[in-house]
Amino acid sequence: MSLAALEAKIEKEVTAYNQLQKEYSKIVSGRQTLESQLKENELVQTEFELLDDEATIYKMIGPVLVKQEQAEAKTNVKKRLDFIRSEINRAEKQIKDLDVKLEKKKIELMSLQTEFQKRKEAASA
């Protein structure tokens, strides 16, 4: 491989690496949003547990409050919690995968760069 071709390859790898990093931070911030949603829903759930049986629950739909059965509201929140938890698991897995990918790319890049340096020195010598 010529020196120029090697340089082009390094450049390509660097952009690929940056792309991966962008994806990584996107998923991490998504993970944080999920965490706060989880916390909020958990708080609502504990609140529902404290209600007496005849308490009325309303759900905000657009600008209006619609009356909702307690049992229905409770199962809704439970379903949402299950969904959020599975989403968190998915995000965690993605983060782990990306971690491995990033590490691999980094090593690849470093070896390419040392090779490039070596070749350049050899050429100038």
Partner 1 sequence: MSKSAQPQQQSIDLTTLPLPQLQAVRQQLDEEITHLTSSYTQLKQAQAKFSACIEALGAVTPDHQDRAILVPLTNSLYVPGKLNNTERVIVDVGTGYYVDKKVEDAKAFYKRKVEFLQGNLDTLQQTIIAKQNNMRVLVEVLQYKMMLARKEAAEQQATQAGSATGTVSA
Q: Which residues contact 50 (CB under 8 A, 6 or more apart)?
A: none
The residue (of 80 and 101) whose beta carbon lies closer to partner 1 is 80
Strand 57-61 relative to strand 64-68, pairing? antiparallel
Candidates 73, 95, 102, 109: give the one binding partner 1 (CB under 8 A): 73
Binding string, 10-49, against partner 1, x = CB under 8 A? -------------------------x----xx-xx--xx-
Separation between Cα atoms, residue 61 and residue 76, nearest integer Å: 14
Q: Does residue 24 contact residue 98 with C-beta atoms inside 8 Å?
A: yes
List of residues contacting partner 1 (CB under 8 A):
35, 40-41, 43-44, 47-48, 51, 55-61, 65, 73, 77, 80
